[in-house]
Amino acid sequence: MSGPTREPLPVPVPREALDYLRAKGYRVGFDHHDVWQEEHATAWTVAKAMRLDILEALRAAVDEAIAGGHAFAEFKRELQPLLEKLGWWGRGELLDPLTGETREVQLGSPRRLRTIYDVNLRQAHAAGQWQRIERTSTALPYLLYQLGPSREHRREHAGWAGILLPADDPWWQTHFPPNGWGCKCWVRQVSRREAERLLASGEYLSQAPDLGVQEYVNQRTGQVVSVPVGIEPGWAYNPGQVSRLARARQLLAEKHSPDSGQSNGT
């Protein structure tokens, strides 16, 4: 029902994905809960990278990897020596600004670089794909949820494989993948004719199951959110939708700023 299992990241990643990353600002955070959910769509951040030069080095490496279609091994080989030189590698002591305590923490490591590489590529790809979906929704108005190449799949994600909904269905606002750490699910655009054929087979779902929500409290920020069951806290958003909305708000704010040189209509 879910179709062929394959890696949904083209190499190199499309231009829209790179534009998504380059439009972000910087936010430092001691913990990955400090910069939360939709904030990731507009802010470049890596937990415990508390200096701008470290964030800039990480961002430049991800940018280069996406632009050049570099595999993780090349990404790590180029970045690790720089991070070691900057003092952001291995175990180290770091001040937690929330608690005022100095703690021994894990800074850079091969495992952390793998997470940084995977998460940013998948988020950027998702945002770029959403832009293309919006541009081509007339010809391809449906989206099909499919499983990625993971050896094991989350039970809820496996249940979503084969869900076929219009691209403007509200379900995609929270369930557009990735939907958690290491999630490799993806969506495929489908024409109206193909959607009718697939649904007629009886093997696809024209309505998403309602699994309910669970309340989650971010212990770092105190924010309370309702998270759809099956999605990890902090991932229940569509990065493409959020980033475009945030950019529109930014442009509107700049237009009406006293320093913009434009009339505010008064």
Give per-residue pLDDT as tens, 212-223. Answer: 999 999 989 888
52 inside domain: yes
41 inside domain: yes
59 inside domain: yes
240 inside domain: no
220 inside domain: no
Q: What is the pLDDT of residue 54?
A: 96
**In what order do the strands lie in the sheet containing 142-146?**
164-166, 142-146, 186-190
68 inside domain: yes
The span from the CA of 264 to the CA of 266, in Å, is 6
Torsion of CA 114, 119, 120, 124, to 10 degrees: 140
Domain carrying residue 53: 15-119
Q: Both tokens of residue 50?
A: 């508390």
85 inside domain: yes
Count of structural domains, the chain: 1
Half-sphere exposure (Cβ direction) of 191: Cα atoms closer than 13 Å: 4
162 inside domain: no
Per-residue model confidence as pLDDT tens for the chain (266 residues): 433 334 445 455 678 888 888 888 899 999 999 988 788 888 899 999 999 999 999 999 999 988 888 899 999 999 999 999 999 999 999 999 999 999 999 999 999 999 999 999 899 989 989 999 999 999 999 999 999 988 889 999 999 999 999 999 999 999 999 999 999 999 999 999 999 999 999 999 999 999 999 999 998 988 898 999 999 999 999 988 876 555 545 444 545 555 544 433 32
